[in-house]
Structure 1
Amino acid sequence: MVVTDAQPEADTARGEVPEPAVGASAPPPEAEPPLTVLEPQRGWALPDVRELWRYRELLFFLALRDVKVRYKQTVLGLGWAVAQPLATMAVFVLFLGKMAGTSNGIEHYPLFVFAGMVAWTFFGSTVTTAAGSVVANERLVTKIYFPRLVIPFSTVGVSVFDLVIASGLLAVIALSFGVVPGWSILAMPLVVLMLAVASAGVGVLLAALIVSQRDFKYVLTFGVQLWMFATPSIYLPTEALGPTAQTYLPLNPAYGLVLAFRQSALGGAIDWYALGVSSAVGAILAVAGVLYFRRVERSFADTI
């Protein structure tokens, strides 16, 4: 006859956990999750690149969301990516090219202007959307924690998407005029990268300023328009500018980068002086914008 002890079953039935038998090993204690303490960043500091990399999926999905929202329930759809540079090209060709005579001596002036407008649209669109991105994502900023720089950086993805579509149309127009890019096309990735760096840097700086002073939001609208006309490489050849202007205009980061984009796309000789100076100024603006953003981001949730 086998004798069993029914006491543990009775204890279990009453909801009591029986003690382990003598000599039996106790179950290992559950590991506690790591404690993460979030403290505001004080002083001037560059962003934590490793932290930004951990939130790369958030950056991707924010960019994807913005692309979907921009073209959702629109009649033209992706056509809006080329509508702005095409319309501006038509205005420049009609009033500056025909009436003011700036097209004299320029072969294929419509193509000349459209190539410049493709680059400028990428630059101006990134500045504008990045500048208003933090205020537009107020709910995210006040509800959860993540690196705030992810928000303005994600707007670059939307501009890149538009740039790809507009560049496709630019290639079609160039081929219709019989223009084929040369070896200078190899500089295109560098030019696009510096366009993204410079425009995102200016946008990040304005995003931080707009959170605290909403006046910058209204200045931004016509400020970008004035900036476009202050970038004559869009609609004028460098030969029409004097040597003094060619020396100092690259201090405008959009000038040298727009010029290099057109030269790279249409097979012209790249002005390395203008590209170098504009790239350096754009990089300085990007560092300054990120530093200021990091300086004031701890107050975003309270101010916004």
Structure 2
Amino acid sequence: MVVSDAEPKAAPAPGDAPVAPAPIAPGAEPPLSVIEPGTRTLPDLRELWRYRELLFFLALRDVKIRYKQTVFGVGWAVAQPLATMGVFALFLGRIAGVGAGVEHYPLFVFAGMVAWAFFSNTVTSAANSVVANERLITKVYFPRLAIPLSTVGVGLFDLVIASLLLAAMAAWFGAAPGWSVLLLPLVVLALAVSAAGVGVLLSALIVAQRDFRFVLGFGVQLWMFATPSLYVPAEALGPRAQALLPLNPAHGLVAAFRQAALGGPFDWYAFAVSAAVGTAVAVAGLAYFRRTERSFADTI
């Protein structure tokens, strides 16, 4: 992208006489802003950095809209993982006996659901974000990638609120994190990259074909049940399952979040494989988004 602008001039103070614009020299052309399609395979991160304030305000707008005119306010940030924890703890932990041998099974499930809620909500919000901002996209230019990426900020806000409740529950059950708590920022970063990558890919696909919006709804639900680290301890899985399940990026990253937040042995293999797969999906999603974003205003 090539952008050329004249140096902005300060506005005159109140009461000052209006300043006439500088005359244009004979034969000279007035300054122009030229926007051209780039040839990069991946989005230009430098351009995205120049629009960082827009990215921040888009995320802030989404946070305000999400909890505007609600009775419980930010309490809804913990409602989803808390309700799911209750269902899993009752039906899987008590009735099915899946939680046998797991100390503090409700805490075990809730820690996983906090990470899953961040992952799934970010994927869903990012996937629908481009279509939801149709009027903004068709009226003004800005890096289109800022729209799906801004949903990560909303997810992080919910994650912080839910993590405070997780810390309170851990203190109640007497679970103290070990040295692995230092890995928590790295795990959250891997979760954000993976969720944003899937969401960016789906956002471009939904613009091209609206059928993906319906696939997204039940696809995320199936994905949750295909992530056994949410409700089954790793010891209950066989060696083959432990080797293959990290190919699901949510599986290894959810388990890593729990291990970092609550302590216990850290599964480096599952974390590394899931993070690598999530990063690969993110790169593929960014490349596809970059290739199709120039036609968003016409297709949407």
The residue aligned with 1:40 is 37
How far apart in 2 are the matches of 1:215 and 1:28?
A: 56
Q: CA deviation at 1:40?
A: 2.9
Q: CA deviation at 1:41?
A: 3.9
How far apart in 2 are the matches of 1:161 and 1:198?
A: 17
Q: Do the aligned partners of 1:52 and 1:150 also contact (CA within 8 Å) in 2?
A: yes
Please list the CA deviations of residues 28-47 of structure 1 after superposition, one character each: whole Å capped at 9, or x if unmatched: 758976433222345x6111
Q: Do the aligned partners of 2:118 and 2:158 also contact (CA within 8 Å) in 1?
A: yes
- Aligned sequence identity (%): 75
How far apart in 2 are the matches of 1:207 and 1:199?
A: 12
Between the two proteins, the alignment pairs up a number of residues equal to 277
Structure 2 unaligned regions, length at least 5 = 1-21
Tell me whether 1:67 sits opposite 2:71 in the alignment. no
The residue aligned with 1:213 is 209
The residue aligned with 1:14 is none
Q: Do the aligned partners of 1:198 and 1:279 also contact (CA within 8 Å) in 2?
A: yes
Structure 1 unaligned regions, length at least 5 = 1-26
Q: CA deviation at 1:242?
A: 0.3
Whose radius of gyration is greater, 1 or 2? Answer: 1
How far apart in 2 are the matches of 1:33 and 1:66?
A: 39
Q: CA deviation at 1:288?
A: 0.2
How far apart in 1 are the matches of 2:174 and 2:31?
A: 63
Letter paired with 1:36: S
> Which residue of the other structure, out of 76, 79, 85, is the alignment partner of 1:83?
79
The residue aligned with 2:19 is none
The residue aligned with 1:271 is 267
The residue aligned with 1:224 is 220
Q: Do the aligned partners of 1:134 and 1:207 also contact (CA within 8 Å) in 2?
A: yes
How far apart in 2 are the matches of 1:157 and 1:101?
A: 37
Letter paired with 2:188: V
Over 4 Å off, 4+ runs: 27-34
Tell me whether 1:199 sits opposite 2:199 in the alignment. no
> Which residue of the other structure, out of 280, 283, 287, is the alignment partner of 1:287?
283
Secondary structure of the residue that 1:121 maps to in structure 2? helix
Q: Do the aligned partners of 1:41 and 1:298 also contact (CA within 8 Å) in 2?
A: no
TM-score (norm 1): 0.89
Secondary structure of the residue that 2:101 maps to in structure 1? coil
Root-mean-square deviation (CA), in Å?
Answer: 1.4
Please list the CA deviations of residues 129-187 of structure 1 after superposition, one character each: whole Å capped at 9, or x if unmatched: 00000000001100000000000000000000000000000000000000111100000
How far apart in 1 are the matches of 2:208 and 2:215?
A: 14
Q: Do the aligned partners of 2:24 and 2:30 also contact (CA within 8 Å) in 1?
A: no
Q: CA deviation at 1:207?
A: 0.1
Provide closer, same or farther for how the CA distance between residues 34 and 45 of structure 1 changes in structure 2, counting only shifts above 3 A. farther
TM-score (norm 2): 0.90
Tell me whether 1:136 sits opposite 2:138 in the alignment. no
Q: CA deviation at 1:266?
A: 0.4
The residue aligned with 1:164 is 160
Q: CA deviation at 1:303?
A: 0.6
Secondary structure of the residue that 1:205 maps to in structure 2? helix
